[in-house]
């Protein structure tokens, strides 16, 4: 071995060293899109815009987010514990009994979903701002309005949430007061609405997206609840916002209530803002799964086994059939006893909200049976949904409870419906106006209010107009119309009934710890995992 | 014995291979005088594979398993050289009669060769915490995983596999938990190939395993050394030795010996459960006595300049669950060839493994526990036969006939693994060697599952049922590839009394992974289950698919210097500078130094009864990579799956959003460890031992933490979150209780203690918890049950504290102020999932031709969350499910199930892991068969524990589900959860036969 051969080895080694010390990760980025090489084309920018909306798919149409927060805590929907099913550590029971805590999953999911929406809007505003084109300016207004709507839900559910608008600010945000959040939502909606399109419900260019009337529908709801949020009522503003929608002439009450909820409901003139669900392309509308009995899978030929969960309660069902609460044509309906014995009651067309009574196979004739029926259930193995529910937990009978049948379940659905889901529906805006008018005039028989309510009663319910109305009658009518549409908790709070007694819920202990001196239970706890991740966040009063 | 003549090698090798294949061996014999003899150690134990050669001649043989040999010599004046590694060589005249040769060890174990990173050392020179386990010390019996060989043998190395799933792997942890990085299992090096799967090599083919425990010894492996290093050395033929053909075979009968306690039919009826008029023991119905067999055939030997080994391993293992198990064929070929007057040494190792596995469905054990015990397995009644498949089914959530699950549905996996590992070393001048290595690892895994049209089972990882989807199929293919290129230059010399050895090198390794998965249903007939073109779901849009490709690169420069002053004082220092693509732009490179020193006190002062006493201390720094690539980058991707499209202007189009937060500051996890140890041999080497104390600090821990949205684009980020501190002691003692006679008895114990604390979190997370895990589906996906808290030990089990039930049978919990409450708002520590210490105790006895050994091991001080109890031990579940009724069952409870400390149990245990009785048959010296040993092994013979679940083994992490939707990674900060996916505990008996020709 001489010097030259040693140097040859050394040279060989050096060559290898030099060629293999580059560590740029982009060189091995085979299938990922890095932030630096995306949003370069119009198509990519549109796909980015889409991320502000696809967040919505995960919400209203299922059991995970806003719907159970607004409904299971109220008096119209319940998730009973059926033996080992739906026990889930007791959190469904806690929603109903108002003992929810900061570790519970529904507040967490909802918080995550809403702030993801907020943050996506912030990110996209920051993305579109430097572009400076007309279309990017339109997108910015649309995104700011959408962000305000996400904040409207946060305001309603959590109250003192942090307001975050600047995507470049990387400091985890601290809480704002409920008043500040209210002011922010109002200001943003008013400021951005003029730049939004005044398109109607069937205009594809804004279908599923926030337009001018969406912003005003949200303002109407914001003002309707302003007294709860800020202590100051805003009835006139609520009426004016409703009128902006109503007087546009683009919307109308559907001839048939069901037209809003059937599988092919696209095109309803009541749709102010929808989630354009699709069983394959835009999934998340899982009502067949959360409410139907497992044995009904073959009845509808669903791609998944249903979970036998969400149901209504007998008092709520009774508000449809009881002629005192709901005058109208009488006929045979499923009764309130523990067997659902047929009885005489009001035939409100909106009883289609429920799946009750005996259930059949797909042929519609052969009774559907459940060999695992509870021993105590008096109607035995044939599946018979009774409005009567024997108990909330732990052993509610498997067949007890009227099921949520409001949205049509198409045969062969994947478990995800293709029905459109209206977040803001014209009937709700009409009822908002009726209510604001009544509060404003302190008169539940105000002619404007009475006319609206009776129009809905006759057209949608096929029931008799109220000759006179009380706040209770108004609220009952609103509940029949808006069942399962995620407004009930908000409505009960507004009417001061949320902390009172109703089925499976004893009155809440009075306190004034909540924002603006309301009961602390009227806003939800901020999830502990969020407080853990964000040092600047403070828990709502009354929760630990 | 056969004489080996150094004739043309290729021909000879060829002959050997042919002989091997024909399974009949004939060899020529030469020479004029036959000499017989037997070689044994001082205690009379026969020594196998001792080289016996004729001085000045060309004949050489090795001894057989009984220590015997026969050699041909020219005449009676010939001299024989007897040599054996670790023993003093002997030279003796042949004389007449049978030779009885006793060899004395040199320096006892201190002369053992220890394999360390990029080299070997004599045991006496080792200055860091390295444990060697040789083939003789391996666990015996039905061994299907290399990790199992070491279980309980190395103080500080924890190896566990709860339950008896033949297709599940072992978790391996060094010193409790030393890193949160990419791999919490040690880096595995097989014959110099770095970073391969531990099961690259069949357990039968392993000569020894060295475990590098402290940071100083592992630091030369830099970025992947933090979880320790396991170096596997395969068997090699001895150069110049006779060819050895060995056969090892086992047959094992394995049966379940512990099920989750639950009500039987009578109890269930008495408790008010629905009576379906049958009586079925579901656990019995889904299990069996599993019969497994393994066959290992190996050939090894060598000629001048050549040594080789070739082996074939076949395993046919049944699982105790019906229709589960695997069949595996593995081959290994290793060759060492010297050339150019022995200055050039080539090595080549090829190994190939194919495993066909029937995974089955873990849910079967869950449903066997909770399925109505009064239900029949089969029925024709339409009320029970819900799918027309003839199995009894009922409509409950997360509930299906467990027999039907295993009999109807298929869940299979084909794994292929091919390794190539070649090196060339050239001795440039005496002591100076240049070495090049190139190695490849190719792994392919193909999964296929099918749920037929009459299958009711819903909660498979596919999330659907065959009946609802009209047949449903899943195929998934994953491929990974990595290649390693390394150069080293080493130099070894002696300057007076100072031995010097140094090595420097460069290492390059790249990794690539890719794969795809497809799911679809709606088949006309089950017969076309493997043909996706027969699925209607592609036409109607219901089929789903996924694919990926990712990769990374590692580059390193390293060096080490070892000094040995007259075998009295030792010093070692090493440094590795390593870079990875996986880090942020400013943190690509890390530096990993180590230094260690040792002093043999027995060489300085005369101590009575002390044969050696070495004091050593080390300090080193190792690193850890993140668990995947691209964590420093901000990434975009589709927002969810195909079902998450954006309705835009009349069409559904893709929506893209952030899929990963950037972290350009992501940097190396860094483990700094101090280790002080004492190695000793006392009383004529009769008592040997090793003691280690370590203290370490793992900083910049890499973990995927929850971050607030806003301001972050998505809710998880890989960060350097804080510091783990830990310390512990390890002790290994061996004692020859009886020595030298016909009856010998050696006992050895090892002990290790742990104490791992999450010392600090970075300022963003200060005061928080990280790594929380939850109770799981159904419905408790957000019920937190563990967490890691700043300033607290790792392994906290966290939840409401159970205080009893009130008069109405409602749960009562601690309210944190000393009062009882029904609210679960107050949560606190319920236990710890990691043990305080672990131990192993082995005993080996020899009496004439009999050998007996048994091995006990245990872990003390850990708790487990028994999730079976947490879901099903409550009388109110009886309307849906059978009821778990451990000793904690309280029939008075009227509440629905709520998670609390009621379901946390102490899980300390000691188990008789392994007992083997063997007999070596006395054979005629010159027979074709050189040695025959038969043995019987019992595994898992008994367990002493108070834990009521199936297996009290420590759960070192919370395993993720790579096949879930979405896939989840294992959570290393969440030990202590006994999931319902655990298979039952089993006991097995193995008959084994070792033959040598």
In the structure, what pLDDT confidence band is assigned to residue B969 with cuts at 50, 70 and 90? confident
CB–CB contact B656 A83 (8 Å)? no
State the Cα–Cα distance between residues A386 and A336, nearest whole angstrom. 7
pLDDT at B105: 61
| pLDDT tens digits along A303-313 | 999 999 999 99
In the structure, what pLDDT confidence band is assigned to residue B551 with cuts at 50, 70 and 90? very high
pLDDT at B643: 85
Q: Give the torsion sign (CA, B176, B181, B185, B186).
A: negative
8 Å CB contact between B182 and B624? yes
Chain A environment of B646 (Cβ under 8 Å): 46-47, 49-51, 53-54
Peptide bond into B553 cis (omega under 30): no
- Residue A44 forms contact with B (CB below 8 Å): yes
Q: Which residue has the tokens 């109405």?
A: B808
In the structure, what pLDDT confidence band is assigned to residue B86 with cuts at 50, 70 and 90? low
In the structure, what pLDDT confidence band is assigned to residue B11 with cuts at 50, 70 and 90? very low
- Residue B843 parent element (H or E): strand B837-847
- Residue B316 structure tokens: 């046919």
CB–CB contact A82 B881 (8 Å)? no
- Residue B244 structure tokens: 């050895």
Q: A471-482 and A426-441 are packed helices; what angle lies between their axes, rounded to 10 degrees? A: 170
| Closest CB to B899 among A89, A164, A173 | A89
Answer yes or no: is pLDDT of A127 > 90: yes
| pLDDT tens digits along B408-444 | 999 999 999 999 999 999 999 999 999 999 999 999 9
State the Cα–Cα distance between residues A21 and B578, nearest whole angstrom. 10
8 Å CB contact between B980 and B871? yes
pLDDT at B62: 78
**What's the CA angle centered on B182, arms A38 and B151, to 5 degrees?**
155
8 Å CB contact between B294 and B313? yes
The distance between the two most distant Cα atoms of chain B, rounded to a whole number of Å, is: 104
Answer yes or no: is pLDDT of A2 > 60: no
CB–CB contact A280 B274 (8 Å)? no
| pLDDT tens digits along A386-420 | 999 999 999 999 999 999 999 999 999 999 999 99
State the Cα–Cα distance between residues B465 and B765, nearest whole angstrom. 43
- Strand blocks (E) in B656-721: 656-660, 669-682, 687-699, 702-706, 716-720
Chain A environment of B394 (Cβ under 8 Å): 371-372
Please enumerate in sequence order all residues whose Cβ is within 8 A of that of B70, keeping only pairs 6 or more positions apart, or say none: B1, B34, B35, B36, B37, B61, B925, B926
Answer yes or no: is pLDDT of B41 > 50: yes
Chain B environment of A44 (Cβ under 8 Å): 656
pLDDT at B925: 66
Closest A-chain CA to B772: A529
User: Once rounded to an integer, what is the mean pLDDT over residues A266-292?
Assistant: 96
Enter the pTM of the model. 0.90
State the Cα–Cα distance between residues B298 and B308, nearest whole angstrom. 10
In the structure, what pLDDT confidence band is assigned to residue A20 with cuts at 50, 70 and 90? low
User: Once rounded to an integer, what is the mean pLDDT over residues B78-91?
Assistant: 74
**What's the CA angle centered on B339, arms B338 and B341, to 5 degrees?**
105
% of residues, chain A, pLDDT over 70: 96
Answer yes or no: is pLDDT of A180 > 80: yes
| pLDDT tens digits along B701-720 | 999 999 999 999 999 999 99
| pLDDT tens digits along B816-857 | 999 999 999 999 999 999 999 999 999 999 998 899 999 999
CB–CB contact A282 B640 (8 Å)? no
Please enumerate in sequence order all residues whose Cβ is within 8 A of that of B753, keeping only pairs 6 or more positions apart, or say none: B728, B729, B730, B836, B837
pLDDT at A57: 93
Local structure of A25: helix, strand or coil: helix
Distance (Å) from the alpha carbon of A148 to chain B's nearest alpha carbon: 15
- Residue B164 structure tokens: 């008896």
Taking CB atoms and an 8 Å cut-off, how many pairs form between chains A and B?
310
In the structure, what pLDDT confidence band is assigned to residue B7 with cuts at 50, 70 and 90? very low
Chain A environment of B782 (Cβ under 8 Å): 103-105, 108-109
8 Å CB contact between B190 and B353? no
Closest A-chain CA to B654: A47
- Residue B608 structure tokens: 């009575």
HSE at residue A176, side-chain half, CA atoms within 13 A, is 17
State the Cα–Cα distance between residues B109 and B997, nearest whole angstrom. 29
8 Å CB contact between B735 and B725? no
Which candidate, B633, B710, B634, B664, places its Cα nearest to that of A125?
B710
Q: What is the mean pLDDT of chain B?
A: 89
| Closest CB to B656 among A44, A57, A534 | A44
% of residues, chain B, pLDDT over 70: 94
pLDDT at B1: 36
8 Å CB contact between A288 and A417? yes
Interface test with B, best of A366, A504, A533 (most B CBs within 10 A): A533
| Closest CB to B708 among A304, A381, A534 | A534
Answer yes or no: is pLDDT of B25 > 50: no
Chain B environment of A118 (Cβ under 8 Å): 710
8 Å CB contact between A330 and A345? yes
| Closest CB to B783 among A89, A172, A395 | A89
Please enumerate in sequence order all residues whose Cβ is within 8 A of that of B738, keeping only pairs 6 or more positions apart, or say none: B744, B745
**DSSP-assigned states of every residue in B95-107:** -SS-EEEEEPBSS
User: What are residue B475's DSSP bridge partners?
Assistant: B448, B518
Local structure of B634: helix, strand or coil: coil
Q: Give the torsion sign (CA, B375, B376, B380, B385).
A: positive
Q: Give the torsion sign (CA, A32, A38, A42, A47).
A: positive
Local structure of B309: helix, strand or coil: strand
CB–CB contact A28 B655 (8 Å)? no
| pLDDT tens digits along B176-220 | 888 888 778 899 999 999 999 998 899 989 999 999 999 999 999
Distance (Å) from the alpha carbon of B415 to chain A's nearest alpha carbon: 24
pLDDT at B6: 40
State the Cα–Cα distance between residues A451 and A466, nearest whole angstrom. 9
Q: How many CB atoms sit inside 10 A of residue A330's CB?
A: 12
| pLDDT tens digits along A191-209 | 999 999 999 998 999 999 9
Alpha helices in A457-527 (DSSP H): 471-482, 488-494
- Residue B317 parent element (H or E): strand B306-318
pLDDT at B869: 97
Answer yes or no: is pLDDT of B132 > 80: yes
Distance (Å) from the alpha carbon of B544 to chain A's nearest alpha carbon: 10
Burial A73-107 (b: 16+ CB within 10 A, else e): bbbbbbbbbbbbbbbbbbbbbbbbbbbbbbbbbbb
8 Å CB contact between A208 and A402? no
CB–CB contact A123 B713 (8 Å)? yes
CB–CB contact B710 A293 (8 Å)? no
Phi and psi, residue B90, nearest 5°:
-130, 150
Phi and psi, residue B979, nearest 5°:
-80, 160
Distance (Å) from the alpha carbon of A381 to chain B's nearest alpha carbon: 10
Phi and psi, residue B288, nearest 5°:
-155, 170
Local structure of A531: helix, strand or coil: helix
The interface predicted TM-score of the complex, written ipTM, equals: 0.95
Phi and psi, residue A531, nearest 5°:
-65, -35
HSE at residue B663, side-chain half, CA atoms within 13 A, is 27
In the structure, what pLDDT confidence band is assigned to residue B923 with cuts at 50, 70 and 90? confident
Q: Which residue has the higher pLDDT, B62 or A315?
A: A315
| pLDDT tens digits along B613-633 | 999 999 999 999 998 999 999
pLDDT at B644: 93
% of residues, chain B, pLDDT over 90: 71
Burial A265-297 (b: 16+ CB within 10 A, else e): beebbbbbbbbbbbbbbbbbbbbbbbbbbbbbb
Please enumerate in sequence order all residues whose Cβ is within 8 A of that of B728, keeping only pairs 6 or more positions apart, or say none: B156, B175, B176, B693, B694, B752, B753, B754, B755
- Residue A372 forms contact with B (CB below 8 Å): yes
| Closest CB to A23 among B429, B581, B654 | B581
User: Once rounded to an integer, what is the mean pLDDT over residues B604-616?
Assistant: 89
State the Cα–Cα distance between residues B785 and B561, nearest whole angstrom. 48
State the Cα–Cα distance between residues B946 and B944, nearest whole angstrom. 7
Distance (Å) from the alpha carbon of B969 to chain A's nearest alpha carbon: 19
Which candidate, A191, A214, A201, A207, places its Cα nearest to that of A141?
A191
CB–CB contact A414 B487 (8 Å)? no
Which candidate, B716, B537, B549, places its Cα nearest to that of B642?
B537
Local structure of B423: helix, strand or coil: strand
Q: How many CB atoms sit inside 10 A of residue B222's CB?
A: 33
Number of H-type helices and E-type strands within chain A: 18, 11
Burial class (CB in 10 A: 0-12, 13-18, 19+), B18: exposed
- Residue A423 structure tokens: 């977040």
CB–CB contact B711 A304 (8 Å)? no
- Strand blocks (E) in B319-409: 325-339, 344-358
| pLDDT tens digits along A344-375 | 999 999 999 999 999 999 999 999 999 889 98
| Closest CB to A85 among B396, B715, B895 | B396
User: Once rounded to an integer, what is the mean pLDDT over residues B734-762?
Assistant: 92
Please enumerate in sequence order all residues whose Cβ is within 8 A of that of A134, keeping only pairs 6 or more positions apart, or say none: none
CB–CB contact A90 B508 (8 Å)? no
Answer yes or no: is pLDDT of B525 > 60: yes
In chain A, residues 112-151 whose CB comes closer than 8 Å to chain B: 112, 115-116, 118-120, 122-123
């Amino acid at each position: 071995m001489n010097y030259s051969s040693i140097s040859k080895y050394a040279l060989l080694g050096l060559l290898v060293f030099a060629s293999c010390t580059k560590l740029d990760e982009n060189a091995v980025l085979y299938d990922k899109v890095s932030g630096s090489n995306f949003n370069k084309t119009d198509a990519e920018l549109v796909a980015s815009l889409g991320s502000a909306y696809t967040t919505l798919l995960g919400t209203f149409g299922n059991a995970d987010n806003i719907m159970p927060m607004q409904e299971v805590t109220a008096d119209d929907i319940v998730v009973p514990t059926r033996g080992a099913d739906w026990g889930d550590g007791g959190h469904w029971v806690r929603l109903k009994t108002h003992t929810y805590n900061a570790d519970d999953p529904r507040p967490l999911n909802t918080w995550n979903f809403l702030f993801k929406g907020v943050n996506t809007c912030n990110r996209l505003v920051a993305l579109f701002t430097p572009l400076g084109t007309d279309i990017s300016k339109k997108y910015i207004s649309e995104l700011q309005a959408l962000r305000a709507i996400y904040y409207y839900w946060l305001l309603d559910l959590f109250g003192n949430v942090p307001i975050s608008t600047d995507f470049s600010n990387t400091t985890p945000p601290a809480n704002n007061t409920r008043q500040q959040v209210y002011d922010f939502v109002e200001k943003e909606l008013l400021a951005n609405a003029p730049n939004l399109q005044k398109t109607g419900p069937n205009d594809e260019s804004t279908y599923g997206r926030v337009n001018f009337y969406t912003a005003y529908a949200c303002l109407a709801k914001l003002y309707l609840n302003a007294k709860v949020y800020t202590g100051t009522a805003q009835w006139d503003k609520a009426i004016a916002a409703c009128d902006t929608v109503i007087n546009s002439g683009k919307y109308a009450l559907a001839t048939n209530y069901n037209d809003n909820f059937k599988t092919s409901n696209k095109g309803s003139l009541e749709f102010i803002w929808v989630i354009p669900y699709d069983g394959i392309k835009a999934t998340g509308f899982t009502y067949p799964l959360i409410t139907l009995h497992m044995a009904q899978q073959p009845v509808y030929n669903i791609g998944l086994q249903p979970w036998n969960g969400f149901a209504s309660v007998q008092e709520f069902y009774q508000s449809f059939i009881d002629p005192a609460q709901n005058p109208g044509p009488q006929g045979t309906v499923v009764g309130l006893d523990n067997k659902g014995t047929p009885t005489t009651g009001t035939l409100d067309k909106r009883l289609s909200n429920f799946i009750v009574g005996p259930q059949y196979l797909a042929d519609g004739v052969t009774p559907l049976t459940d060999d695992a029926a509870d021993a105590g259930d008096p109607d035995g193995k044939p599946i018979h949904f009774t409005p009567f529910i024997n108990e909330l937990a732990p052993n509610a009978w498997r067949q007890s409870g009227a099921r949520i049948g409001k949205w049509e379940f198409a045969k062969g659905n994947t478990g995800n419906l293709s029905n459109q889901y209206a977040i803001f529906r014209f009937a709700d805006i009409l009822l908002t106006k009726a209510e604001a008018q009544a509060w404003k005039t302190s008169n539940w028989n105000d002619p404007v209010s009475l006319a609206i309510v009776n129009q809905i009663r006759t057209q949608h319910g096929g029931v008799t107009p109220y000759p006179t109305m009380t706040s209770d009658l108004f609220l009952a009518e609103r509940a029949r119309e808006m069942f399962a549409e995620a407004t009930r908790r908000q409505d009960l709070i507004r009417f001061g009934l949320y902390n009172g007694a109703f089925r499976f819920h004893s009155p809440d202990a009075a306190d004034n710890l909540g924002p603006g001196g309301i009961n602390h239970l009227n806003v939800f706890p901020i999830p502990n995992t969020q407080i853990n991740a964000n040092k600047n966040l403070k828990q709502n009063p009354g929760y630990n | 014995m056969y004489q080996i003549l150094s004739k043309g090698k290729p021909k000879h090798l060829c002959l050997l291979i042919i002989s091997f294949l024909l399974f009949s061996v004939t060899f020529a014999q030469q020479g004029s005088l036959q000499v017989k003899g037997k070689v044994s150690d001082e205690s009379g134990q026969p020594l196998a594979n001792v080289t016996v050669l004729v001085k000045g001649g060309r004949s050489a043989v090795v001894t057989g398993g009984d220590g015997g040999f026969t050699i041909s010599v020219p005449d009676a004046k010939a001299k024989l050289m007897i040599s054996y590694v670790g023993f003093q060589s002997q030279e003796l005249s042949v004389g007449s009669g049978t030779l009885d040769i006793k060899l004395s060890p040199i320096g006892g174990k201190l002369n053992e060769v220890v394999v360390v990173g990029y080299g070997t050392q004599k045991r006496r020179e080792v200055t860091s915490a390295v444990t060697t386990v040789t083939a003789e010390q391996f666990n015996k019996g039905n061994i299907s995983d290399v990790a199992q060989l070491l279980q309980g043998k190395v103080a500080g190395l924890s190896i566990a596999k709860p339950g008896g799933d033949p297709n599940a792997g072992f978790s391996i942890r060094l010193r409790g938990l030393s890193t949160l990085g990419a791999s919490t299992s040690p880096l595995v090096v097989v014959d110099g190939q770095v970073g391969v799967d531990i099961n690259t090599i069949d357990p039968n083919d392993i000569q020894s395993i060295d475990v590098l425990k402290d940071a100083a010894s592992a630091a030369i492996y830099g970025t992947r050394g933090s979880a320790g290093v396991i170096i596997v050395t395969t068997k090699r033929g001895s150069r110049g030795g006779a060819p050895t053909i060995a056969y090892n075979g086992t047959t094992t009968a394995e049966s379940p010996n512990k099920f989750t306690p639950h009500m039987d039919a009578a109890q269930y009826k008495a408790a008010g459960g629905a009576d379906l008029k049958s009586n079925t023991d579901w656990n019995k119905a889904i299990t069996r006595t599993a019969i497994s067999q393994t066959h290992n055939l190996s050939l090894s030997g060598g000629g001048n300049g050549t040594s080789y080994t070739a082996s074939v391993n076949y395993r046919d293992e049944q699982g105790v669950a019906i229709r589960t198990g695997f069949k595996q064929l593995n081959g290994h070929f290793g060759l060492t060839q010297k050339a150019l007057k022995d200055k050039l040494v080539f090595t080549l190792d090829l190994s190939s493994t194919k495993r066909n596995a029937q995974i089955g469905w873990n849910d079967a054990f869950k449903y066997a526990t909770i399925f109505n015990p009064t239900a029949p397995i089969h029925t024709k009644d339409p009320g029970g036969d819900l799918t027309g498949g003839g199995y009894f089914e009922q409509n409950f959530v997360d509930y299906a006939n467990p027999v039907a699950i295993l009999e109807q549905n298929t869940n299979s996996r084909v794994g292929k693994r091919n390794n190539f590992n070649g090196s060339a070393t050239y001795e440039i001048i005496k002591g100076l060697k240049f070495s090049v290595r190139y190695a490849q690892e190719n792994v392919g895994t193909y999964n296929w599952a099918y749920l037929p049209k009459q299958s009711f089972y819903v909660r498979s990882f596919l999330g659907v049922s065959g009946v609802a989807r009209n047949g449903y199929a899943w195929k998934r293919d994953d491929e990974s590839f990595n290649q390693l290129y390394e150069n080293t230059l080493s130099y070894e010399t002696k300057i007076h009394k100072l031995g010097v050895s140094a090595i420097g090198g460069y290492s390059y390794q790249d990794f690539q992974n890719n794969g795809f998965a497809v799911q679809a249903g709606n088949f006309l007939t089950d017969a076309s289950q493997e043909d996706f073109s027969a699925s209607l779901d592609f036409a109607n849009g219901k089929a789903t698919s996924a694919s990926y490709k990712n990769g990374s690169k590692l580059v390193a420069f390293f060096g080490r210097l070892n000094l040995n002053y007259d075998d009295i004082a030792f010093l070692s220092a090493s440094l590795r500078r390593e870079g990875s693509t996986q880090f942020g732009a400013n943190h690509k490179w890390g530096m990993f130094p180590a230094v260690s020193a040792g002093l043999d006190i027995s060489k300085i002062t005369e101590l009575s009864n002390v044969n050696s006493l070495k004091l050593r201390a080390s300090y080193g720094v190792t690193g850890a990579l993140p668990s995947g690539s691209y964590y420093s980058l901000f990434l975009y991707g589709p927002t969810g799956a195909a079902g998450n499209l954006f309705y835009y202007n009349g069409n559904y189009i893709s929506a893209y959003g952030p899929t990963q937060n950037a972290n350009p500051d992501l940097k190396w996890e860094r483990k700094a460890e101090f280790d002080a140890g004492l190695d000793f041999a006392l009383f004529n080497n009769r008592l040997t031992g090793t003691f280690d104390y370590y203290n370490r600090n793992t900083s910049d821990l890499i973990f995927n933490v929850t971050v607030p949205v806003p301001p972050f684009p998505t809710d998880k980020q890989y960060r350097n979150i804080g510091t783990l501190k830990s310390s512990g002691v390890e002790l290994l003692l061996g004692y020859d209780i009886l020595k030298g006679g016909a009856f010998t008895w050696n006992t050895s114990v090892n002990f290790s203690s742990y104490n791992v604390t999450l010392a600090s979190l970075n300022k963003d997370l200060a005061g928080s918890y990280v790594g929380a895990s939850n109770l799981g589906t159904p419905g408790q996906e957000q019920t937190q049950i563990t967490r890691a808290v700043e300033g607290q030990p790792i392994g906290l089990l966290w939840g409401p504290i159970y205080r009893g039930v009130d008069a109405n049978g409602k749960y009562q919990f601690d309210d944190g102020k000393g009062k009882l409450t029904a609210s679960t708002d107050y949560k606190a520590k319920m236990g710890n999932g990691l043990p305080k210490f672990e131990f192993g105790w082995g005993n080996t006895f020899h009496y004439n031709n009999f050998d007996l050994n048994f091995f006990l091991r245990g872990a003390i001080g850990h708790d487990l969350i028994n999730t079976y109890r947490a879901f099903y031990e409550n009388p109110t579940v009886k309307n849906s499910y059978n009821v778990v009724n451990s000793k904690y069952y309280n029939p008075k409870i009227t509440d629905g199930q709520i998670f609390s400390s009621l379901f946390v149990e102490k899980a300390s245990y000691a188990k008789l892991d392994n007992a083997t009785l063997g007999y070596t048959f006395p054979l005629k010296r010159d027979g074709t068969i050189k040695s025959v040993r038969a043995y019987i092994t019992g595994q898992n013979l008994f367990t002493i524990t108070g834990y009521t679940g199936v297996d009290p083994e420590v759960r070192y992490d919370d395993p993720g589900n790579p096949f879930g939707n979405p896939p989840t990674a294992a959570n290393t900060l969440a030990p202590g959860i006994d999931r319902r996916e655990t298979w039952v505990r089993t006991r097995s008996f193995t008959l084994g036969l070792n033959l040598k020709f």
